Amino acid sequence: MQVASGAVTQVDAARGWGVVVSSVIAIRRAVKGAALAALSPKPGRSAGERDWELEEAQAEIGRLAEAVKAQAIGLAVVRGESGWD
């Protein structure tokens, strides 16, 4: 939740919990998938009916995910952890 809200970066969350960054990324993806599944159309809804709120939520998730990635990359570069040495 801290990573999704922007309170901490993926790198900081991984350090705080004593895990590798890929674990934080995997957990974030699993949570995102569960959230999208929970927001998916429910039985009884017309298949052709568009769910505008769901589409907007999915677009926002995409924008936030890209922002988190950009911040994590920037932080890694600033801290010298880019692996591009």
pLDDT in tens, 4-46: 778 888 888 888 888 888 888 888 888 888 888 887 776 665 6
Please name the amino acid found at residue 82: S
Q: 4: Cβ–Cβ under 8 A, 6 or more apart, which residues?
A: 28, 31, 64, 68
Which of the four pLDDT bands, split at 50, 70 and 90, describes residue 64? very high
Cα separation, 6 vs 58, whole angstroms = 17
For tokens 């993806």, what's the residue?
29
Q: 50: Cβ–Cβ under 8 A, 6 or more apart, which residues?
A: none
